[in-house]
Amino acid sequence: MAPVKIWELCAADRQRVFSPFCWAARLAVVHKGLDYETVPWQFTEKEKLQAASGQGLVPVVEDSGKVVNDSFAIAQYLERTYPDRPTLFGGPGGEAASLFVKNWMMLSAVKPALQPLMLVDIHSQLADDDKAYFREQREKRFGNKLEEVCPEGDRPAKLAAFKAALEPLRATLGAQPFLGGEKPLYTDIIVFSFFMMARSVSATKLLDADDPVHAWRERMLDAYGGVGRKAVGYPV
């Protein structure tokens, strides 16, 4: 079987993959035990991506002639196409719950709290053309200069808000090793992917060593043959 091709957003160092959605796609492929190859992609290489997928966002997965974009749609595609391989969702109820977890990450305090802490770090890792694109896009989105979204003096409060937002995760992981129970499921992958984003661009210490979320992150870094731990990033 030909390897699954995964288009992934990368920094100036093309090995440094930092999009949480791309990490979710890669880990979903790895969870299924499929061979893969990556196509490292930078923001300003739009034409290549458009030609391959008919749209402009990553991740994109190409598998046996089928092209799928959007991390959640990729997980659904993999689950339906490879039902005999380890399950990502653990059944329809798990799939439905995964959508909640994704939306919780995107819409509640977690992504909004984490992203401002990472903006300047992400920018500093990008290729030169991507730096200009990223600054323009993000400054429009945040209505502020990148450096002003989270000034140095605000970082302790923002970090505390991020840690507080993890409380439901902390309570759950204090009672069981993974969100999926004894083994990771796609719910773990969704949340862990945001920590992979942080790890790949930033030396910021997000978690205390005695936090159950820290212990879970360690387990996830070692899961799947250590694909997370071996990736280019900061060992925080």
Ligand X SMILES: N[C@@H](CCC(=O)N[C@@H](CS)C(=O)NCC(=O)O)C(=O)O
* Residues in contact with ligand X by the rule CB under 6 A: 9, 19, 21, 43, 56-59, 70-72, 137
**Identity at 181, one-letter amino acid code:** G
Residue 222 CB, nearest approach to ligand X (Å): 25
Closer to ligand X at the Cβ: 106 or 109? 106
C-alpha 134: how far from its chain's center? 18
Report, in Å, the least distance between residue 4 CB and ligand X.
16
Q: At what angle do helices 71-81 and 186-201 cross, to 10 degrees?
A: 140
Which residue in 123, 127, 124, 125 sits closest to 136, CA to CA?
A: 123
CB of residue 49 to ligand X, shortest distance in Å:
8
Closest CB to ligand X among residues 117, 173: 117
Our CB check for ligand X shows the closer of 6 and 166 to be 6
DSSP string across 171-220? HHHTTSSBTTBSS--HHHHHHHHHHHHHHHH-----S-TT-HHHHHHHHH
For ligand X, the closer of residues 24 and 223 by Cβ is 24
Least separation in angstroms between residue 102's CB and ligand X is 8
**Minimum gap (Å) between residue 47 Cβ and ligand X:** 12
Nearer to ligand X, 25 or 173 (CB): 25
Sheet holding 60-63, edge to edge: 36-41, 4-9, 60-63, 66-69
* Rounded least distance, CB 126 to ligand X, Å: 12
Q: Which is nearer to ligand X, 42 or 87 (CB)?
A: 42
Reduce the DSSP state of residue 121 to 3 states and report it: helix
Instruction: Tell me which residue of 102, 114, 22, 19 sits closest to 60, measured CA to CA.
Output: 22
Cβ proximity of 25 and 39 under 8 Å: no
Q: Are 31 and 186 in contact (CB under 8 A)?
A: yes
